[in-house]
Structure 1
């Protein structure tokens, strides 16, 4: 995606930044004065920076080369009041998901051409859909990261099934608005004006109101002051939750208002073609639909072959014939190709099996619609080896992972397990998960939470027809409710962060984040936030009732409220206590 068009875009965006700096110089000077900065020095510094960057870009254009000039390095964003604008966590782009260089070039070029199309009638929304494993997320993450690299004004919002407790669908447009405000000063001022008029916009869950007041109206207001395109990526819309959770979002995307977006705005959406999404988007005149299922097989096979060659090329027993065989077997499913590479070369010693023998195993798998499921079962068989004890532990561990309302790191998951009621559940999950790195993040890289790498693995685990022996069932909240309440009972204490005075507000404690990190462990933080949601989804049980009474009927209640306040989530207490109302008659 390199070339003169990117250089032109960078020059335009840098010029726009310089113009905005000059246009708003008076407000910027006021900001610097309030910040105690030397106005003359700051003015000279920013001016020199813009001049040098533009000179570098022009030289880059003349020499037809790309030196990666950062076009957003010198933007000055005033201290406009955006505090309290609640945005979603864990919804941004992920560079590990981007396409391998040299692959998916045709579809990427098609999307870029759509972004830069100057026709007034170009559809503002592109819906990219296809079956699971086709590489939808890789494509849009590549677009989002590329657009960010060239300095474009944009946002990337990714839905994920294991973040549903965040109610991402209620925070999408607040988060997008924050992202755009961080990229463009003009949009930031328009957004600040909207929030100054109605402070409730910072926390409203009304998706249509967010869209109109935080996105549509600010964009229309500043469209004449923005150079270049605005690109918003919405990935995995089908993972937002049940159909009812995205009903209002789909209504917004299909609305006439979306058709009236400024001509430089583009919204790129991905999902599987679920009925409600297809019904809403396929008939809207301002939505262009593109199916990855329609990509020519020869193009998919070429890209998959290149990917496999990069992954397996160094292996002694794997040559061009084997690479070609795997690419054909993949039938256009990039996720299957990834799993096949992990299976052939698992990165660990496999007893009595060479890479060639493992290649022969996968070539015996039957083809067809169950291709991913067959690969999942093969990897799990390689992990569990038919051992009944291992299988029982696997089911318990995966039940915990898919039932958590927010992804947790392995250490926190193990700490939670140690409080499960059944002694046999107190096993170290590392013994099971260490061989499941092809399927889960957070196994080899302990800095990441443990979560399925692909949404189809969730579906596999909870569908007995697909997972067969490895079926783990739907979410089971009892163990997590039990563990959360025990952790609250054991770990909560008075003045948990050791504050010098209870009269200080959180904002007055300069090292509050460090104190929280040191004193409120991840598993305690999770328990404080989610115990009531787990409890609400659990049938009444005397043991649980005793734990609830032990927390709510004593001073632990006050300690819990203090912890929520320190975490900035005191507002959640009302809903949590409401969840326990059905339990009160039993006390």
Structure 2
């Protein structure tokens, strides 16, 4: 019998190849088995290799051997695919990824998976034990054991098949479950971690915001914005008003005309009580609504921190950081460094650190931004040095910014502010708007809207406006452009809601005592202006200052017509430069152009001279005007001016020609009769009639009535007829008779002036009798016989020459000067 079992060629080549392939897979994977995080996978690989090697050594049963080879190969492939699946999940994550470590730990630490792999190993070890029983002796005896070996191989094949099935149903399922559990846990952890990260990010952001806010709060700052409670009264803008003004401001913002094009700074000027702060508040609000509001600082005199430059730049920086998100980080960084050197620093350090650098660092593409500074004139702490410095530093921010930064300032007419802006490096960047340049009609219309709005809120307001539709315009006209007057009047009405019509009559009548009492806010304003311009302490200590102030205030109170400083100088004997200096400080309440000193000046509102002369309103004697003394002073100045009059005052070639035949009469009067003399011609009688009476005994400051009387005497005795002639040429002959009566009345019951009374009476009679002749040819007044008083009393004067009693004078003389 041929010994086919001992011949290697008789071995099943296919089965052998299968086992070799399986062994190759196992030995190859054995190098990375330690990396596969399946507990016990290494021993599984080792026992399979050992089993394959044992089977390869014997081939006593070809059929059984092939079947076992197939089962082992399938098991190896199953195990290998499971390992690849796990490694795919593991290697799919970065080496340093905590999730990878967690997956490996999760698989290796799975007790359920460990138990299943251990049971698999036990099954494979049993098969290895069976394989060890296979015959391994000489070839010729293998046939003897072939039947037994076939049974063993059958058992091994069945054991391997069971192991493969077990691995698929138990181990592989456990592996997948473990992976899913770990990945699900990792997912939850990742969600939690991400949520924590978000929370941490938010917390960090909150902490950063809190940290930044603490830095900003460390800046010393004032509650000075347009929204501050202290500025509530300024936030009373009535929509529909100030249209002309806001059109002008829009032109500046947009640069629509040559006057404002390219000018980053706008200064709004206006007198006290004209509504500048309300305008500034409304402008800031509009900027805020439009998103281009940066910051605002409203100076308030007498309020701590708001009447000083001390907190201006830290406050502006603080507000900018809260209103403009883009500039906030720059300001926070700047503030952090700035505060290292101290909280309260000088402006020359605050402005560059807290304003200039942050706006410079801002993106040039940033939209325009506005800074609003109101009532610069109300900055009173060391104003003469600190205000110009503040303006220089504030305006420098415009040049530091690479984006369009705009600054809006308001102030009363104030030489300190105006000189800085006019004469400094900033003049080319400044656009000026004056409330006094607005048309009076538009201002009166705005005040009428304001008045109508306030009246309509009264219980009977709507009915009142229906019954008296003109009342708003009447009150607006009386306001004379002062919003504060209109506001005071409306407060007066609201204080008496049940007596509106009665209070309205008080408002529209002259000299109402009740409304005079209600003018307290306006009086406080006037007194504040005067105290700022001329501190009472300075006036009491400096006669050199007191004299021009007293003279100018007195003139403002009693002058009948507006005059220029040059003309007033000629009447009161105070140097024009001193008058101009006083007026320049009073431009909050006086209309006066300091760039045109030859233009006339006048009170901004009639309530100012009324305030100056009323002891119940002007409580400070430093500013109160004694009208009788001031009239005496002006009367004296008038008489001195009249002493310059000469016969043929117009220097006519033929003075006997009728007035109507003189074509250039007006020009001749302007040339030969100076303005102060023309004023004296018309108004000396009024000033004399209001001056101190002859028997007055004065206390305190010296009066001018004695000097006035001497000048009056000289005038009556030497220049009376020249005055009458001049009045004729001026077309004011109608005032002569009444004026002469005032002079006679002033001298009543003074025997030492009897000759003056006679001269005055004679002149009165002559003018009364020959009025039309003198009116046609004023020079006719000189045709009477010469005498010291100007007239020979040859006429029958009758009753016209007698002195009138004071009661008769009150009836006859109702002059409107």
Q: TM-score, normalised by structure 2?
A: 0.36
Larger of the two Rg values belongs to structure: 2
Q: TM-score, normalised by structure 1?
A: 0.49
Q: Would you tell me which structure has more helix in proportion to its own residues?
A: 2
- Higher relative contact order at CA 8 Å, sep ≥6: structure 1 or structure 2? 1
